[in-house]
Structure 1
């Protein structure tokens, strides 16, 4: 039997004119192994293993990569790893959260936002990042209403340095506000947590993009003994018309192939 892929299942990323795979590859594990919320420990893969993972993802029809300055060395590793393939990928990065010496700090000023995006462009070896999200500390509305980050991102979009912007937030109010003025919201939505569903509803009604984080509850999803939690998770997600793509942060080739096959099954039944 031939391997299931997502090549024919790409979908619009809101109204940005980009087509993305329904699964995106999260790359926190390529750059950071401290202070991450996964049930099991892991080792950051070396360049050879990272390249193999990216090649596998691409072969499986994944074209969306999620990274961030807060993911340790993730961005600066992706630059060289994606040399010669930039046109094949839609890259999502973030601003607002910094991670140094095992600790996170936040800065949502306009000046820092510009500095952060310019640094990400250099690290990723590109002249345009497809989507930049504000890496919220949880105070979503305060950030959007009282900090300079959203205005700075709108300006960077006008300059052509980013194609779109939005918020990776933690509240319904923040997600809704982010979509009113921006292009995308990244929300938590899984079998255990569905409180941000109104943000998905708004996105579906207004042609905005939704990326789902913690789609598999960071590996913690569990159901009745005879149910496949991965399948149940993706049936929930892709049962909602607002969802553009789910970000999965695996570095395990078997898990990646299983996730892709499951999504392909779920979507081919629609």
Structure 2
């Protein structure tokens, strides 16, 4: 049996011109083990393990990598780990949330947005970031309408430092507003939570991109016995035409391979 991969299943990231794998690799676990909502504890991988995980993801056809300043040392580690591979990855990072001394704080000002993107460029050792999302604290409409963060990201896009921008929010209203002038919304959508579905519907009808966070309910998916929760999750996600990619945050090579095999089977209808 040949190993299933996602190489021939890449799809458009809305109208950004970027093409992404239907699964993306989330990297919070490469840089942070405090204040994360996972059912089991974990150890942050060392550089050798992280490099193996990234190599495996690439071999499986994953080209989308999701990081953030709030993910501890994730960006700083990815810079050297991805050296020489920049053209092979679509890198998503964030602005707005900082994580220091075990606490999150938020700053959506235009000034901090510019500072944050410049810092991410340095950490990731790149001249541009493919997609920058606003890391919402939940006050989605206030952030979009009163802080200057979106205007700053639009300017950074004009300057070529960012290829696309969008919003990782927590409300339907925020997701819809974010897509009016932005390229992408990152939404929670899984077997347990489907309240943000109207954002997916809007994206599908307006040529915008959707990235799904907590696609596997952060490992908490609950189903009847005998049902594969990963397959059931992906059947839900990939049935919706608005979904470009689902971010999975595993650092377990077996889980990653299973996720890819399952996603490929669901998308191919086998």
For the criterion TM > 0.5, the same-fold answer is yes
1:95 aligned residue: 95
Distance 1:2 1:248 in 2: 23
* Structure 2 counterparts to residues 133-212 of structure 1, below 5 A: 133-212=133-212
Q: Deviations over 1:117-171 (max 9, x none)?
A: 0000000000000000000000000000000100000000000000000000000
Kindly indicate whether residue 232 of structure 2 is the aligned counterpart of residue 229 of structure 1. no
1:105 aligned residue: 105
Distance 1:268 1:8 in 2: 11
2:254 aligned residue: 254
Measure how far apart 1:245 and its partner are. 0.1
1:243 aligned residue: 243
Distance 1:247 1:86 in 2: 19
Measure how far apart 1:68 and its partner are. 0.1
Query: The residue matched to 2:72 in structure 1 has which SS?
Result: coil
Scaled by the length of structure 2, what TM-score is found? 1.00
2:51 aligned residue: 51
Distance 1:171 1:181 in 2: 17
Distance 1:237 1:264 in 2: 13
Scaled by the length of structure 1, what TM-score is found? 1.00
Report runs of 4+ in structure 1 exceeding 2 Å deviation: none
Measure how far apart 1:253 and its partner are. 0.2
In structure 1, the gaps of 5 or more residues are none
Q: Deviations over 1:76-100 (max 9, x none)?
A: 0000000000000000000000001
Q: Deviations over 1:198-225 (max 9, x none)?
A: 0000000000000000000000001000
Query: The residue matched to 1:244 in structure 2 has which SS?
Result: strand
* CA RMSD across the alignment: 0.6
Q: Deviations over 1:171-230 (max 9, x none)?
A: 000000000010000000000000000000000000000000000000000100011000
Query: The residue matched to 2:156 in structure 1 has which SS?
Result: helix
Query: The residue matched to 1:163 in structure 2 has which SS?
Result: coil
Distance 1:53 1:86 in 2: 16
Q: Deviations over 1:58-109 (max 9, x none)?
A: 0000000000000000000000000000000000000000001111000000
